[in-house]
Amino acid sequence: MNPISFKHLATDGRARRGEAVTTHGTFQTPAFMAVGTQATVKGLTPPQIGETGTEVVLGNTYHLNLRPGSERIQRLGGLHKFMGWSGPILTDSGGFQVFSLSELRKTTDEGVVFKSHIDGSMVSMTPERSIQIQAELGSDIAMAFDDCAPYPASRDEVEAAMGRTHRWAERCLDVKRPAHQALFGIVQGGVFPDLRRESAGCLTQMPFDGFALGGLSVGESKDEMALILGDTTELLPKEKLRYLMGVGTPADLVLGIGNGIDMFDCVMPTRNARNGCAFTSEGKVVIKQAQYRDDESPLDPDCSCYTCHTYSRAYLHHVNRAQEMISGTLLSLHNLTYYQSVMNGARQAIEKGQFEAFAAQIASIHGETQPILETH
Amino acid sequence: MNPISFKHLATDGRARRGEAVTTHGTFQTPAFMAVGTQATVKGLTPPQIGETGTEVVLGNTYHLNLRPGSERIQRLGGLHKFMGWSGPILTDSGGFQVFSLSELRKTTDEGVVFKSHIDGSMVSMTPERSIQIQAELGSDIAMAFDDCAPYPASRDEVEAAMGRTHRWAERCLDVKRPAHQALFGIVQGGVFPDLRRESAGCLTQMPFDGFALGGLSVGESKDEMALILGDTTELLPKEKLRYLMGVGTPADLVLGIGNGIDMFDCVMPTRNARNGCAFTSEGKVVIKQAQYRDDESPLDPDCSCYTCHTYSRAYLHHVNRAQEMISGTLLSLHNLTYYQSVMNGARQAIEKGQFEAFAAQIASIHGETQPILETH
């Protein structure tokens, strides 16, 4: 029996509407996963995560390995029990974080040695270790450990990282996993269409349960991302899930869906929330701006989340200015609800064969939205 | 019609069990009020506050006057609507904060001029202004503006502050309030029993809806507090509510209840929660301690709050160490639930005539608990 089953329900152009079943429950696709880096979606309890319509949560192997440690989480009953989230969980492989967050890394074919951001100790990560950690965490979907080239990088650098990613992919598949755990491969190749095609061609020969596109939304232009997306997803098997990692704005989501992507994750809805920035059906709202000081209207008149049906913009402005914890919580509740409403809208539009119009509408509202960087 | 009605249900020695009815709902006494200084109980949504068993929330006139301003809150429909809490609200008068938090204050018989902690501007507060602010906030119970002598202070200083508190009390009563709003007087007199008696005697001649004891739990010994409590409450009318301001530890609560107090408020359950300190049926738990790193047991085995029925101490240790927002939220949920369970236990014990044994049990668990100071 497969650890994950994926059923097509509808298509509209390249856009796909489906349903995925895991041991810990079902999720509808296209799906947006809330990021729960350190075994918590920042500022929200699991019931609040559920309230937003979120069905899948992502945990970070890099962070959980350093603290509190995956063996500890295993002893305590696994990540689901540990963090109080009984629904599906996907864990990343730590690859992206090792290559982007950590200092003093040394990469060889064996793996990567890096300096912990917590205590400065040297930590080793290999394909085998990454899969072992994810097995201990007990997620429903594990990701292969990949070599992420920086952006921009030369073609030679990208090609070398891709080749290593393929060799590591085979090693990942050789490690024993829990029976309930699926494993996805990660297509690399940067912004070079021929390398992406080569990567997709190589990885789809391996028995992965799904495929991700890594190394996008890292600084390349939207046109470059669109080109790679359309080009690569065409080479992926239709019967398996496709995941665009770390993406993105609402406009990015509909771009991905329109190119056949089924799954997304991004810190933007929760990180921007903590920085006082809301995504709404009327575009971006930076709640600390003085214009909202006396605004009696809800954050988003079209939203039915707890924040929007309880509070005025004036209140949200106040708690943001007063640096109250509730500010991040209430805006995270809203932003995740908004993201999930975009996904739900996309699913309905695909079923009705109206995805193109829906995507154009979302892109016109959010076309200019740029990520806000963490301020602390 | 009185803005607040108070019904005795049972007594046990000096301890009283009752029920208070306001326009915004009923609360059981003895009652513990959660502190919502800046129009939010830090880290909790109103449904979460309700989950803890909390029935009354306290708002701070000093803070809300400076930001966002009481006129603004009035325009936005009043404090209940603004902060999304539909139950009873008590507002303090700002007296304690003006005398303890603010800089550069100048006190005359007219009132106090102080420097705002937000923008450094000079702000004036008088008895009339305090009542006006509270009227604009629209709380169910307003407090008279009092002159709080520091601790320690000479008898002359305490006597002068008490005299001024009495003159200010009359001026507070002369200000027009909303029909639904009760007004409580505040007994001062420091640790001098004869001054406390004089203050109680003077204020109870005035038409207040209830009486508070101010200026306790400010550094005096437990014995001094106990003496003042027992002595003063005897002089307060039995048919009106009695409120011990800013108190305290679980042991302080049962001390107060045993001396006839009906209402309490304190930042300890929520502030200590944010600092990783939990009150439990087994005593204090400082969750960041290494001993909890692998502890599979709940924070408090006797507690049915969301935190205790969902998480291990090991998880709470992890999110505290990782400085995750959820740490403060989960411990606040628990600590307030624990405080409310103490109040509920006290109410049941009074009904059964077993309050003395209950109080001794709580005091033996928490006798040594000291407040933890805010670290930021």
Does A319 lie at the interface with B, CB-CB under 8 angstroms?
A: yes
Amino acid A304: pLDDT: 96
The whole-number average pLDDT for the span A287-312 is 98
Q: Which residues of A touch B44 (CB under 8 A)?
A: 326
Interface of A with B in 80-99 (CB under 8 A): 82-84
Amino acid A376: pLDDT: 31
Does A69 lie at the interface with B, CB-CB under 8 angstroms?
A: no
Q: What angle do CA B292, B297, B301 make, to 5 degrees?
A: 120
Dihedral sign computed on CA atoms, order B42, B47, B50, B55: positive
Q: Which of B326, B331, B337 to mutate to test the interface with A (most CBs of A within 10 A)?
A: B326
pLDDT in tens, B324-336: 999 999 999 999 9
Cβ atoms of B281 and B338 closer than 8 Å? yes
The mean pLDDT value of chain B amounts to 95
pLDDT in tens, B128-178: 999 999 999 999 999 999 999 888 999 999 999 999 999 999 999 999 999
pLDDT in tens, B296-317: 999 999 999 999 999 999 999 9
Interface of A with B in 266-295 (CB under 8 A): 293-294
Domain boundaries, chain A: 5-266, 278-354
Smallest CA-to-CA distance from A318 within B67, B74, B136 is with B67
Q: Is the pLDDT of residue B232 over 60?
A: yes
Confidence of residue B368 (pLDDT cuts 50, 70, 90): low
Confidence of residue A368 (pLDDT cuts 50, 70, 90): low
Percent of chain B having pLDDT more than 90?
A: 91
Amino acid B68: pLDDT: 98
**A45: closest chain B residue by CA:** B326
Residue of B92, B146, B147, B209 marked catalytic: B92
Amino acid at A107: T
Amino acid A100: pLDDT: 85
Q: Is the pLDDT of residue A151 over 70?
A: yes
Is residue B92 flagged as an active site residue?
Answer: yes
pLDDT in tens, A85-114: 999 999 999 999 998 877 778 999 999 999
DSSP string covering A190-211: TT-HHHHHHHHHHHTTS--SEE
Q: Is the pLDDT of residue A369 over 90?
A: no
Closest Cβ opposite residue A329 in set B45, B296, B314? B45
Does A67 lie at the interface with B, CB-CB under 8 angstroms?
A: yes
pLDDT in tens, A153-206: 999 999 999 999 999 999 999 999 999 999 999 999 999 999 999 999 999 999
Q: Phi first, then psi: give them for residue B227, nearest 5 degrees.
A: -60, -50
Is residue A92 flagged as an active site residue?
Answer: yes
Interface confidence (ipTM) of the complex: 0.96
Domain spanning B9-266 has what CATH number? 3.20.20.105
Q: Is the pLDDT of residue B375 over 70?
A: no
DSSP string covering A274-291: HTTEEEETTEEEETTSGG
The mean pLDDT value of chain A amounts to 95
**A327: closest chain B residue by CA:** B43
Taking an 8 Å cut-off on Cβ atoms, the answer to whether B324 and A40 are in contact is yes
Amino acid A103: pLDDT: 77
**A39: closest chain B residue by CA:** B319
Residue of A12, A92, A147, A300 marked catalytic: A92
Residue of B146, B252, B265, B300 marked catalytic: B265
Confidence of residue B105 (pLDDT cuts 50, 70, 90): confident
Taking an 8 Å cut-off on Cβ atoms, the answer to whether A45 and B329 are in contact is yes
| CATH topology for the A5-266 domain | TIM Barrel (3.20.20)
Confidence of residue A373 (pLDDT cuts 50, 70, 90): very low
Confidence of residue A314 (pLDDT cuts 50, 70, 90): very high
Lookup result for tokens 């930076």: A286
Smallest CA-to-CA distance from A145 within A107, A179, A118 is with A107
Q: Is the pLDDT of residue A144 over 70?
A: yes
Neighbours of A375 (CB within 10 A): 8
User: Which residues, other chains included, contact A260 with Cβ-Cβ below 8 Å and sequence gap of 6+?
Assistant: A14, A15, A16, A233, A234, A236, A242
Taking an 8 Å cut-off on Cβ atoms, the answer to whether B45 and A72 are in contact is no
Q: Is the pLDDT of residue B294 over 90?
A: yes
Q: Which residues of A touch B329 (CB under 8 A)?
A: 43, 45, 325, 329
Q: Decide: pTM greater than 0.90.
A: yes
Q: Is the pLDDT of residue B29 over 70?
A: yes
